[in-house]
Structure 1
Amino acid sequence: MKAYQLVIAIPVLFTVQATAQQNSFTTDSHLNFLFKNAMMNRHYSDSDVRTRREWGQAAIAHFTSGFTPGPVGIGADILGQLAVRLDGGRGRSGAGGIDYFSQNSDGHAQSTLRKLGGRIKAKVGQTVVSYGTQQPLIPLVTADTSRLLYETYTGWMLESQDITGVDISAGYLTAEQRKSSNHYNSGLGRLFYAGARYQINSQISVSAYAEHIPQVIDKQFSSFTYTHPISTQQKFILDINGYNSRLTDDYAREINSGRSNIIWSTAGRYVYGMQSFKLAYQQNSGSTGFHYGGYRDKQGLGDGGIWVSNSYWSDFIGQDERSWQVAYSLDLTGLGLSGLSYDLAYVSGTDIHTSASSHGKEREVFNQLHYVVPSGPAKDLQLTVRYSRLQVSADAADYNRGGSDLRLIAQYPITLF
């Protein structure tokens, strides 16, 4: 069943529930709108690569229902998305990392995007099984919401919280809707995933997940988080996480790569009042770098998701790469500027293995200023300015390209009910 068929079926559910007594289907229903104006500009240091820039206006409507009464509750969700291109015509669009508007066969970026999807869901206890348009959010399969429109998938999902402290997730996905295109599927065939997160107590949590994409890759993720409160104003947080990946022979040959990769990172963060200080280390090993995301019809995986410490513009995931990070965050509410925050990070990566050498390097300086209007007519309006400067050594050109990355984002969420 495709997304448009679900949209036809969803009104039937509303008719059924309207004849029943007032219940959580209606009282727990919500309709949210998000208006987003976003621009991303990437200027590359290499003279043979053009500056890429895309800018657009989007409107996203998301209806989520509650569940009908009874042993098995039934519900339905609808997601509608619209985007209009404001800039990024021929010669400026096309950078894979921007991905606001995909290009047509003639090289022109699409001028408008329209997407409509929905899902039906059933709930027993604290377990929900659903089919249709999905937005999974786990370390192996993350539906990206960081660009203009949302990335979505089609398939089955199970989410359960019946066991105290345990969040269980599982899914079988058969299509991926590219965030920058109207096409129903960007080449994904089948993707299986399962895993859980366990909050052991107020200080310790662990997680483990596994993913299988037939004829492509097997991947596992695990994490450990420890929070140590020092005082009412101070705490220390330790995060350790990592991925283990194994490409199939066919896919490795397709992308001219080795097959195995292990990447892990550890980060210590000290929070003192309105300030936060972080130190992190990340390491890659194996016969290839870390592979994630992209689209199957573009030789990508189609899974999405990278939850490691040193990920900004660059993810520092080259073969054998080791990277260090120092970061600082400031919540300016403590200085009387409610809703304003600033983030600064410096990451340095070395030992990148490419066809040119085993000593490639890259380094990035990341800055972000974020403001949420705390009150008044524009309450909850979000304004973000993000800027990164990335330098990549010549012997690592096979892996990455340096330059500058500027993002300007304005988001205004509205809740109707």
Structure 2
Amino acid sequence: VLKYGDMMPELPVLQYDDSRLLPESYTGTFITSKEIEGLELNAGHFTEEARKSAEGRDSGHLKSIDVFGGSYKFTNNFTASAYTSNIEDVMKKHYLGMNYVFPIAVDQSLTLDFNGYKSDINSKYVQKAELTGDENTIWSLAATYAFGPHSVTLAHQRSTGSTGYNYGWYQDRGGVGDGGSTIYLANSYWSDFNAEDERSWQLAYGLDFGAFGMPGLTYKIAYVAGDNINTHGFGEGKEREIFNQLRYVVQDGPAKDLSVKLRGSWVRTNNAVQQNGYFDDGNEVRVFVEYPISIF
């Protein structure tokens, strides 16, 4: 399938941000192939970016982004994907993802999910964005045990290199320009826990109320703690976050598939992180309402 025009890509190296009333979008050419069973290949060349909740097709002042990669379903339980992107005058980014599901019983399973990025940053962009270095490697490994309507997740995430993981924002503002959701990592909620040399752990719990006669209603709570942040002279940086989300999807009737999410996050950082300018304390509550409309 060959497409040209305004699109909202959903790839690990180019993922649009829909956290505002109007989502980000990209203008370019995109081709997808699914000729081989279980294999999906994607390639694209994009030259314009529309900022979220902003007028103008190229309000993000993007130069160009080339993306290539794909995913393959090796077995019913194991899927892997690999992607690469070349963001003109900014960086080259490479991604690897693997997901394996271990069936334990009829209503029990253990899922292992790995995601990792390797970024090689252009020296001119390092100076423009005032970064501390020109390369970063970041990865996360999450283990989720699901039993009945419950799920428990334990995850570890680690960032190494001479700078933190950079993504999103807009090139005319000193950003990367590859989409505000281009961070397929386990510990990314309000804070991304993606600072230079940061290590973080997550413990999360999820509940599906469908088992209690309320189909479509789900809840998740997560606690993430990060440390070892290199603040370049201000001491060891630390941060922590509590994330909550209650979501309901209408199951039938005229409003079928209408989704309402209530999300709350509480982030706390130490003085070293605040003085370094990486992140600050904050409380956030958001409400998301989404309603898909099929035109054709």
Distance 2:103 2:235 in 1: 42
Aligned match of 1:8: none
**Which residue of 168, 193, 197 corresponds with 1:293?**
168
Q: Does 1:173 align with 2:43?
A: no
Cα drift, residue 360 of structure 1 = 0.4
The Cα offsets for residues 292-346 of structure 1, whole Å up to 9 and x where unpaired, read as 0000111001102100100000000000000000000000111112211100000
Q: Does 1:335 align with 2:212?
A: yes
The Cα offsets for residues 10-42 of structure 1, whole Å up to 9 and x where unpaired, read as xxxxxxxxxxxxxxxxxxxxxxxxxxxxxxxxx
Identity %: 42
Q: Does 1:210 align with 2:84?
A: yes
Q: Does 1:231 align with 2:114?
A: no
Cα RMSD of the aligned pairs, angstroms, is 1.2
Q: Classify 1:234/1:319 alpha carbon distance in 2 versus 1 (closer, same or farther; 3 Å).
A: same
Alignment of 1:38-77 (within 5 A): none
Gaps of 5+ in 1: 1-127
Normalising by structure 1, what TM-score?
0.68
Q: Does 1:140 align with 2:13?
A: yes
What SS does structure 2 have at the residue aligned with 1:289? coil
Distance 1:380 1:282 in 2: 33
Q: Does 1:400 align with 2:279?
A: yes
Q: Classify 1:216/1:151 alpha carbon distance in 2 versus 1 (closer, same or farther; 3 Å).
A: same
Alignment of 1:304-343 (within 5 A): 304=179, 305-343=182-220
Distance 2:80 2:86 in 1: 21
Aligned match of 2:116: 242
Aligned match of 2:147: 272
Distance 2:253 2:10 in 1: 32
Aligned match of 1:84: none
Distance 1:267 1:316 in 2: 15
**Which residue of 235, 238, 241 corresponds with 1:361?**
238
Cα drift, residue 416 of structure 1 = 5.2
Q: Classify 1:322/1:249 alpha carbon distance in 2 versus 1 (closer, same or farther; 3 Å).
A: same
The Cα offsets for residues 59-84 of structure 1, whole Å up to 9 and x where unpaired, read as xxxxxxxxxxxxxxxxxxxxxxxxxx
Normalising by structure 2, what TM-score?
0.95
Cα drift, residue 158 of structure 1 = 0.8
The Cα offsets for residues 388-408 of structure 1, whole Å up to 9 and x where unpaired, read as 000011110111111101101
CA contact (8 A) 2:22 2:54 kept: no
Gaps of 5+ in 2: none
Cα drift, residue 355 of structure 1 = 3.2
Distance 2:282 2:259 in 1: 26
Cα drift, residue 145 of structure 1 = 2.4
Q: Does 1:152 align with 2:25?
A: yes
Distance 2:124 2:86 in 1: 15
What SS does structure 1 have at the residue aligned with 2:19? coil
- What is the identity, as a one-letter code, of the residue corresponding to 2:30? M
Distance 1:217 1:412 in 2: 36
CA contact (8 A) 2:115 2:185 kept: yes
Give runs of ≥4 in structure 1 deviating > 4 Å: none
Q: Classify 1:358/1:211 alpha carbon distance in 2 versus 1 (closer, same or farther; 3 Å).
A: farther
Distance 1:176 1:378 in 2: 32
What SS does structure 2 have at the residue aligned with 1:230? strand
Aligned match of 1:261: 136
Distance 1:381 1:172 in 2: 33
Aligned match of 2:95: 221
